[in-house]
Structure 1
Amino acid sequence: MDIVETCGKGTLSSGEPSTKRSITSIYDDDEVVGFEKDAEIIMKKLIQGTKERDVISIYGRAGLGKTTLASKVYNNPSIVNYFDLKAWFAVSQAYNRKMLLVEIFKQVTNDRIKIKEDIIYLIVLDDIWDVEAWEDLELCFPRGENHSEPYSLKFLTVEQSWELLQKKVFRGENCPSDDLLKAGLQVAQHCKGLPLVFILVAGFIAKMEKEASLWLKVASDLSSYVLGEQSLKPCLLYMGLFPEDHKIPMYDLLKLWMAKEFVLNAETENMEEASRNCLSDLLNRSLIMVAGMRVNRDIVYCSLHDVVRELFLRKLIKDNYIQLAVPYNPYAFNTWHNQYSNALEFIAHPKFNTWHNQYSNALDLVVRLRFVRALYLMDMELSISWAIVMQSLTQLRYLALSVKHFKFMKWISHLHNLQTLQLKSHETLHLRADTLLVMTKLRHVNIDSFSVVWEDINDEGCFEECSTTMLENMKSFRTCDMQLDTMNARFWWRFPNPEELGLHVKVVPEFPLFPIPEVHTRLHSLSLDFSLIQFFDSVGWERYFIFLSNLKHLDLSCYLLTEEMVLNIARLKKLESLKLFMGFSFGSNCWDVTNVEFRALKYLVLHFVRMEEWKASEESFPVLEVLFIEAGFKFKEIPPSFADMPTQRLIELSNCIHSLVVSATNIEREIEEDTGCDSLQVVIKKVNKCIY
């Protein structure tokens, strides 16, 4: 389970280990230049205002930083700890009233039947374009007489503009020359006090030589520079096709870029690394924004500012960029298709879930899309007749599909160019390994609700020991239903280079999870979902879960945390993040790691962990930075030794009992008293005073 922090709009065949670089934003500023007083005023209104419903609106021109200011207030610890529940929603110019209200209700009720009246809510409606939209939505909220004076966000002064520009370009250092100072002030004036424009300009000039003439040239023709670099241009234009305010999942975006071959000219043969480098470059230039990240700061979602997106859309129209994304006008499609014949290479972005409402027989369309490369149909359950059509789409590189009545998945093997395969079904379907083994270009597979059978079986039902097919390009494989039987050991060597692996372990295996450890030296991320009840009656099952030494990220769900299992984890000298979900501490219900050292662990996430006591020494987590606990109902306190761990920067608790909250705040206070600084931040999202 991933913990994602919302950021503004919306709610990570060489024998060497992977050197995968985490994609994080280079802009983690604690303050926003020019907004300090604005944030202070708004927070005072929120905390010291009425307990009844109140409306605080921020208005101003696009690019002034309204969303940035609201986000800084929304994520401020004082606000986080004051409100019992917070929720953020992007309304956008074209919004669906029903869908928006349903989503608001789901978040503020946590999917319960009714809204609690004894807690304090903070609900942010971002990106409202006109008064009529608010009047439409206001009727659905509790009645109230309070409506604070709208807060007008002002343009930055020249001095504030230069301060922002200098901060982004020189990273806090002073401007090195008078010529650059004069040029910088001219840039500040040229950008008309809009923070968004300054950030975009700064993203480019920070990469340039420190020459005044270059700075002024960027400021005077920003749009040309934004889309001028050919290696970034197709990636940016492609993102402009996503809906307004859409939180674009990183998992999908990078693989869609790969399917479209946007990064082939990069200085690396590894497509994943090239895509990540491209994304990092776009982030560093502030052309795209972070919309959600994990506790370890890996980015999960990104998005485009409305102003930037409009710039890209204008360029798409001007250049007659031949792409088709659904939903679309089915009548206009016929004219378009006749004009461009079979030039179409792309259809569908994730979450375009209104296609079936606009075009009742999508099958007729796909028949004509012989050159389609990326197809996302995860939000539609398709009939069995689709199998015949799908196998004809031989140019597919990316396929995300929700299936219902497919008895056999043999047709997938016809897609020889496929790189990414995502499958979902609510029924138990079977996918044989030999179906995938002929797809040698596969790089990423994510299978949900399938039963994956890993036997090489020929038509006569015999095991083919002579088969030598290997999927050397496979980088990630995830399935929620995989049978680990006695024959699996023969097949693991067929996947020599995986970097990420996710498995649902249904029964106790009869052999080690990694029987040939020297083969999988690139694996750095492992997620295991256990069928807990199967392991209660088993003795010595831990010996089959000796993990590979190069692991950096480990997620365990529905597990038994025995002493031997803890030691197996602690042996991982490179392990940086550990997530434990719905686990039991076997025997005494005490997780005692007093004499255990997790020497590289920086991020520890505990969800619904059913232990009653937790013991640790100051040597247990020597480099821990972040501790996240959700629904801690059983154990009553964080070990006091956490006050002696100097690397900690964040303890975040969500829906935990009061005593656990008290222990966290005591640790925070003790560190501040001992060191004289507030290096540890404690964030409390919700307190549950009942022990479940």
Structure 2
Amino acid sequence: MAVAAYASLLSLTRMLESIQSPARLHQLRLDTKQIQCLQAKVKLLLDFLEVYGQRRSQEMEDLATQIADAAEEAEDAVDRHVVDQLRDGSQDESHREAAFSSFCQDIDKVIAKIESIIKELMMAKEEWADPQEQKPIASLPVGSSDVLSSIDKNSTVVGFDEHLVRVMDELTRDELDLQIFPIVGMGGIGKTTLARNIFEHPYIVNHFDMCKWLTISQENNVRKIVLDLLNDVKTEDDNKKTLAELGNLLHKKLFGRRYLIVMDDVWNTNVWDDLKLFLPKNKTGSRILVTTRLSNVVVSLSSNKSYMMDFLDEDKSWNLLCQETFSQESCPYPELENIGKDIAKGCKGLPLAIVVIGGLLGKSNMTRESWELVAKNLTSVANSEDDDYCLRILSLSYHNLPIHLKPCFLYMGVFREDYKITVSKLAKLWVAEGFLKPIRGKSLEQVAEAYLRDLIDRNLILVRTYGHGRNIETCGIHDLLRDVCLRENEKENFMRSPKVQRAYIGSGYDMCFACGRNPTSHKIDLNEVHVASQQTSLVSVSVCNTCRNMYPRLTRVRLVRVRVIVRTRGFSRESYEEILHPTNVRYLKVKSSADWEFAFPSTMALLWNLQVLTFGLKSGLPKAVLPPEIFDMPQLRHLIAPRKSVFLPDQTGSQGSVSMANLQTLFHITNFRCTEEIVQRMPNLKELKVSYYGGTGSMEWSYYCLYNLARLSKLESLFVGSNGLLSLENLRFPTSLKELRLYGCSIPWEKLKIVGSLLPNLKVLSLSKNTYKGREWNQVEGEFPRLKVLTIFDCQLVWWRAENVNFPNLESLVLSFMWKLEEMPSVIGDIPTLRSIHLESCNNSVVDSAMQILEEQQSYGNESLQLYVDEKQVCVS
């Protein structure tokens, strides 16, 4: 429950900050001192949870529940007050005064409740031990190494043969200096099993004068570890010696000897930092072998070598399953082989899951029916078998997370199994949820990326795909870890209400608004839900029995607290008025298949806390104009329109002065005018996609003020589309640009050097649909010093002459539908950083020249360059 409380407090903190922003203060009447008093008390609670939130006791659970309830009560009060003021600005003074007085009373009640909680926690702190002694690991029932030891005694190295050879080779190299070698991977991937097999291998035993095994996960007592290392020379007087004296004895014992020390299940470097002081540095070829789930431990160990363990492939998974089930690397029952391979595949390459399932299958009656039952319930079976064997091991990683990362991890349970999560979308969702703690000098999206990287380094989230520059593009989570998410969600009561709300209107069938999948006839009217329903949707939604059981507080917690996804089909304009009323929505996605012209209602401004707005339209519809109220939404961070005719409202002569300083993304706006007012209102735009259709005259292009693009000093990514009439003279770019994509512009190839010289930070350049005029491109040195990705699509280029110095950092070259291009410049292959060439629908001469480049590079020993033709990799024999 501490995690839910922590997330609720952070969400409330952001809400209180937003209503005190300059953009809101001129719209709202607040008792600023009262709000600041509430903020101070909320900060006290946050500080308390950051120190004591890992403590596991009933008293802590009760306090956390009270904190979460108080935070949600405060959010509801603020939301009602803000909406009342935005909606009832035209009401008489007496009405506004009564509403303000009621709001102040509500906040006073919350403050009183929080003060009472603070008194309780102060009393509790006096009884609790020093928080530094409250290690989350120590409160767990079993350590991972203790659990794994039961299989290590009989474990084989099925699937680990290559790992074994490589690591042993590293440990026994001729390098004489003391070296640390970490084995890294997620829980259950086989680090301890591999280390144990290495430790006990005869070659290792003979190579080292002394081998010692230390289990660190639950034992951070350096004195005890030193005594364990002194085990064979220990005397009764040793218990009376100081740590320094014991360390001196250890130093003498190890001096001149070649030793191997295995430190299994390391969560931090505290023990190593103390232990290394007693280890001799004499050049004997000694080694320290470390197993850890945390990639950042490798950095802290100052090791320049590490071994990352990957998941087993399908063949090795099947071999290991057979070994654990039948004690041989094949299946003696032909009728079970296909279903057995499906089970092995379903374990997703995690040895721990395979071992557990194999043990279960080995005790089964060996019928297809019993194996099919296991296959259908693989994750739950694996995590519940042998007294929650897998679950306890994997949960260690969760319990060792700092509290600020726990909400982000638990949130991963929202996504279905095997779902590829786009990193940019995940960051937006985490930000919208409100449980990211701001870091000075970083945007919340950057904080989200840092949190994601931390969870990846802890091997809790998996990288699915990389984009250019090795940036993480999509991520995911192993099925067993997702099950940990769901179980810990239930324990923590983190998902007090659904994180995704869906309303299917006019679709002809009912779907559950929470999971979006299970059909149901049970309906809940949002008017039944909590007092805040006065400002929530009037749409009746369906809830399946599974979700009713998952969210016991469903009828007491406002459904639309954070985000809503609405899918609409063939219903009236009036329905939008209903759908857009949930006022505390922060992430809104609307898909419309209606046949009429799309328009958001003016009540859109009541979504005062909206941060992400994305919507899609039915193809072939006429233009859609966003309402003027879009400029009265200072919290908006990302506005993503469909790739159709969507226009911003004309603000010429507008009296509004609301800053949209939070806006970072503005996608798919047609005939965007970059006026002085826009530059001032949106100073922090990072991503902009705009298209221009119509006019040809210079006077008309000046109307769009595209020279002001250069004043968007935070802009990093820009897409400009045109019908072939936009020239370079009409454009100005900010030097901050890292990505530039031009579509259908009309720029001579020789002018491209101007773009390169003016954009020193450019890393991605995409030229599409005759963006550049002419048949010949002669490059000059120094045009694109930092460019990593170059894409040319459907341009009329015939002759391309270049030198390798033109793109000194190019990593990827993409050519698509370049029918007239005669060949690629051969020197492209000499670029040392080039890793891939992608050709799609190009003529044969271009493909032949690319093949020659690949052959030449391979003859030089360059095996890193890859060539893809129509999405198929080309290999040269």
> With structure 2 as the length reference, what TM-score do the two structures score?
0.49
In the aligned structure 1, how far is the partner of 2:704 from the partner of 2:647?
19
How far residue 335 of structure 1 moved from its aligned partner, in angstroms, is 8.6
Closer/same/farther in 2, CA of residues 367 and 439 from structure 1, 3 Å limit: farther
How far residue 400 of structure 1 moved from its aligned partner, in angstroms, is 0.9
Say whether 1:201 aligns with 2:287.
no
In the aligned structure 2, how far is the partner of 1:497 from the partner of 1:177?
62
- The answer as to whether partners of 1:201 and 1:222 remain within 8 angstroms in 2 is no
Say whether 1:602 aligns with 2:788.
yes
- Tell me, which stretches of 5 or more residues in structure 1 are unaligned? 1-12, 14-152, 190-197, 212-217, 348-354, 360-364, 457-462, 536-540
In the aligned structure 2, how far is the partner of 1:492 from the partner of 1:596?
31
How far residue 644 of structure 1 moved from its aligned partner, in angstroms, is 3.4
Counterpart in the other structure of 1:314: 487
In the aligned structure 2, how far is the partner of 1:433 from the partner of 1:178?
76
Counterpart in the other structure of 2:638: 444
Aligned with residue 500 of structure 1, among 687, 700, 724: 687
Say whether 1:411 aligns with 2:603.
yes
Counterpart in the other structure of 2:395: 223
How far residue 546 of structure 1 moved from its aligned partner, in angstroms, is 2.1
Per the alignment, in what secondary structure is the counterpart of residue 656 of structure 1?
Answer: coil
- The answer as to whether partners of 1:455 and 1:488 remain within 8 angstroms in 2 is no
Amino acid at match of 2:182: Q
Deviations 1:225-263 (A, max 9, x none): 324421111111111121111111223211111111121
- The answer as to whether partners of 2:562 and 2:584 remain within 8 angstroms in 1 is yes
In the aligned structure 1, how far is the partner of 2:599 from the partner of 2:555?
21
Amino acid at match of 2:867: V
Closer/same/farther in 2, CA of residues 201 and 601 from structure 1, 3 Å limit: same
How far residue 338 of structure 1 moved from its aligned partner, in angstroms, is 11
In the aligned structure 2, how far is the partner of 1:309 from the partner of 1:199?
23
Per the alignment, in what secondary structure is the counterpart of residue 689 of structure 2?
Answer: strand
Per the alignment, in what secondary structure is the counterpart of residue 275 of structure 1?
Answer: helix
- The answer as to whether partners of 1:234 and 1:262 remain within 8 angstroms in 2 is yes
Amino acid at match of 1:446: I
- The answer as to whether partners of 1:433 and 1:455 remain within 8 angstroms in 2 is no
In the aligned structure 2, how far is the partner of 1:267 from the partner of 1:470?
21
In the aligned structure 2, how far is the partner of 1:610 from the partner of 1:678?
32
Say whether 1:647 aligns with 2:833.
yes
- The answer as to whether partners of 1:657 and 1:687 remain within 8 angstroms in 2 is no
How far residue 221 of structure 1 moved from its aligned partner, in angstroms, is 4.7
- The answer as to whether partners of 1:594 and 1:615 remain within 8 angstroms in 2 is no
- The answer as to whether partners of 1:555 and 1:579 remain within 8 angstroms in 2 is yes
Question: Aligned Cα RMSD in Å?
Answer: 4.4
How far residue 591 of structure 1 moved from its aligned partner, in angstroms, is 2.8
In the aligned structure 1, how far is the partner of 2:682 from the partner of 2:209?
56
Q: Which has the larger radius of gyration?
A: 2
Deviations 1:617-654 (A, max 9, x none): 23321221221223333313111221332332222333
Per the alignment, in what secondary structure is the counterpart of residue 814 of structure 2?
Answer: strand
Within-5 A mapping of 1:405-484: 405=596, 406-426=598-618, 427-432=621-626, 434-448=628-642, 449-456=644-651, 463-479=652-668, 481-484=669-672
How far residue 280 of structure 1 moved from its aligned partner, in angstroms, is 1.2
Say whether 1:264 aligns with 2:463.
no
Per the alignment, in what secondary structure is the counterpart of residue 441 of structure 1?
Answer: coil
Within-5 A mapping of 1:158-237: 159=164, 166-168=182-184, 183=215, 187=264, 201-203=293-295, 205-206=297-298, 221-229=393-401, 230-237=403-410
Decide which structure has greater helix share: 2
In the aligned structure 2, how far is the partner of 1:161 from the partner of 1:613?
49
How far residue 578 of structure 1 moved from its aligned partner, in angstroms, is 0.8
Say whether 1:678 aligns with 2:863.
yes
- The answer as to whether partners of 1:409 and 1:431 remain within 8 angstroms in 2 is no
Closer/same/farther in 2, CA of residues 179 and 280 from structure 1, 3 Å limit: farther
How far residue 443 of structure 1 moved from its aligned partner, in angstroms, is 0.8
Amino acid at match of 1:683: Y
- The answer as to whether partners of 2:463 and 2:474 remain within 8 angstroms in 1 is yes
- Tell me, which stretches of 5 or more residues in structure 2 are unaligned? 1-20, 22-156, 171-180, 186-197, 200-207, 216-260, 267-289, 304-389, 499-513, 546-553
Amino acid at match of 1:682: L
Counterpart in the other structure of 1:58: none
- The answer as to whether partners of 2:708 and 2:732 remain within 8 angstroms in 1 is no
Closer/same/farther in 2, CA of residues 544 and 271 from structure 1, 3 Å limit: same
In the aligned structure 1, how far is the partner of 2:800 from the partner of 2:439?
48
How far residue 681 of structure 1 moved from its aligned partner, in angstroms, is 3.0
> With structure 1 as the length reference, what TM-score do the two structures score?
0.61
In the aligned structure 2, how far is the partner of 1:419 from the partner of 1:633?
44
In the aligned structure 1, how far is the partner of 2:392 from the partner of 2:425?
35
Closer/same/farther in 2, CA of residues 367 and 514 from structure 1, 3 Å limit: farther
Within-5 A mapping of 1:245-256: 245-256=418-429
Per the alignment, in what secondary structure is the counterpart of residue 702 of structure 2?
Answer: coil
Closer/same/farther in 2, CA of residues 379 and 430 from structure 1, 3 Å limit: closer
Deviations 1:9-28 (A, max 9, x none): xxxx9xxxxxxxxxxxxxxx
The percentage of counterpart residues that share the same residue type is 24
Closer/same/farther in 2, CA of residues 381 and 429 from structure 1, 3 Å limit: farther
In the aligned structure 2, how far is the partner of 1:444 from the partner of 1:510?
27
- The answer as to whether partners of 1:584 and 1:611 remain within 8 angstroms in 2 is no
In the aligned structure 1, how far is the partner of 2:756 from the partner of 2:395?
51
Counterpart in the other structure of 1:3: none
Amino acid at match of 2:760: K
Counterpart in the other structure of 2:415: 242
Counterpart in the other structure of 1:525: 717
Deviations 1:132-170 (A, max 9, x none): xxxxxxxxxxxxxxxxxxxxx94436836967983548x
Structure with bigger RCO (C-alpha 8 Å, 6+ apart) = 1
Closer/same/farther in 2, CA of residues 632 and 319 from structure 1, 3 Å limit: same
In the aligned structure 2, how far is the partner of 1:366 from the partner of 1:424?
31
Amino acid at match of 1:274: V
